């Protein structure tokens, strides 16, 4: 009897141990599959980056690193790429396109986008092969709607101050890039979105675009250099009028007051301003080495 009970106890212990081993094994398989999926995703990103990189090994390594870094910038798995960086080739070699891609928030500038743009600009500053940078939207009908107010509403007051300071520094970095910069405005550019465009050397917009520093409607003032750059571009008196009234102008009016360099009719693809910006950048390529910064 004792031997029988001992045998039953051993069997129960053996079954329990077996279940535990199976559970551990299942967990290990789950982790392995997760890692494989992540590696597969990174491999796809690296492959995509490789296709858009230059042919030289050193340039390839640098540009692929930059492309992969942008995908890993604090965005969780499955989220959209909030900033797309493309190094163009062939007759466009030397042109870099930065495309904001936050469709759900009309390209509003959040902490992640500002941080990512800042990192990309730091790399572009020292890249001697870059001749012109184009800022555009990957979202139809919008350039940038300004700061992400939903995100800001959840910030502590100290975080808001830090964010505004970081945004201002980043937009100043755009203005100080040692190569020509072009803003391709294929839709609305309001608040911080227009401030980003004002920091560029040249602005191209479609007739249907809507532009304005509208912060005074919210009882605040433009915080990323708009109050300084707008007067320099269109004159002090007119700049005050637009800021005090929070007026929004279309492409034709923006051209008439000197806010933009070129105005074009929108096309079916919704990228007419970008196409005009690309043509301008192509004109710059034979002439441009570096831009003198005053």
In sign, the C-alpha dihedral spanning 48, 54, 55, 59 is negative
Q: Using CA atoms, how far apart are residues 172 and 190, in angstroms rounded to an integer?
A: 18
For residue 173, give both structure tokens: 């970095």
- Write down the pLDDT at residue 220: 79
Q: Using CA atoms, how far apart are residues 110 and 167, in angstroms rounded to an integer?
A: 9
> Is 195 one of the catalytic residues?
yes
For residue 138, give both structure tokens: 């990957």
pLDDT digits (tens, 9 = 90+) for 248-269: 999 999 999 999 999 999 999 9
Q: Using CA atoms, how far apart are residues 21 and 24, in angstroms rounded to an integer?
A: 5
> Is 159 one of the catalytic residues?
no
Q: Using CA atoms, how far apart are residues 79 and 18, in angstroms rounded to an integer?
A: 40
* Residue 157 confidence class, pLDDT cut points 50, 70, 90: confident
Among candidate residues 49, 187, 195, 212, the one labeled active-site is 195
- Crossing angle for the helix pair 57-71 and 111-125, to the nearest 10 degrees: 170
Q: Using CA atoms, how far apart are residues 159 and 167, in angstroms rounded to an integer?
A: 12
> Is 223 one of the catalytic residues?
no
pLDDT digits (tens, 9 = 90+) for 111-125: 999 999 999 999 999
The helix (H) or strand (E) run that includes residue 51 is helix 2-51
Q: Using CA atoms, how far apart are residues 215 and 200, in angstroms rounded to an integer?
A: 20
> Is 151 one of the catalytic residues?
no
């Amino acid at each position: 009897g004792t031997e029988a009970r001992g045998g039953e106890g051993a069997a129960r212990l053996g079954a329990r141990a077996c279940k535990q081993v199976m559970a551990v094994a299942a967990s290990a398989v789950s982790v392995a599959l997760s890692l494989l999926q992540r590696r597969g995703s990174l491999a796809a990103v690296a492959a995509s980056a490789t296709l858009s990189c230059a042919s030289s090994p050193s340039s390839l390594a640098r540009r692929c690193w930059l492309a992969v870094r942008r995908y890993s910038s604090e965005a969780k798995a499955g989220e959209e790429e909030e900033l797309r960086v493309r190094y163009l080739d062939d007759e466009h070699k030397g042109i870099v396109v930065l495309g904001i891609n936050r469709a759900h928030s009309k390209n509003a500038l959040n902490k992640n986008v500002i941080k990512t743009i800042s990192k990309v600009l730091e790399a572009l500053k020292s890249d001697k092969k870059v001749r012109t940078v184009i800022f555009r939207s990957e979202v139809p009908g919008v350039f940038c709607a300004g700061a992400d107010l939903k995100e800001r509403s959840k910030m502590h007051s100290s975080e808001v101050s830090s964010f505004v300071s970081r945004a201002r520094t980043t937009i100043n970095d755009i203005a100080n890039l040692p190569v020509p910069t072009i803003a391709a405005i294929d839709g609305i550019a309001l608040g911080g979105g227009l401030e980003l465009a004002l920091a560029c050397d040249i602005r191209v917009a479609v007739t249907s675009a809507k532009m304005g520093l509208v912060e005074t409607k919210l009882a605040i003032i433009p915080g990323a250099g708009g109050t300084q750059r707008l007067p320099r571009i269109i004159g002090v008196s007119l700049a005050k009028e637009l800021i005090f009234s929070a007026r929004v102008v279309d492409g034709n009016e923006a051209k008439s007051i000197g806010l933009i360099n070129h105005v074009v009719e929108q096309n079916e693809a919704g990228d007419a301003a970008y196409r005009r910006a690309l043509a301008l950048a192509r004109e710059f390529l034979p002439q441009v080495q570096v831009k003198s910064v005053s």
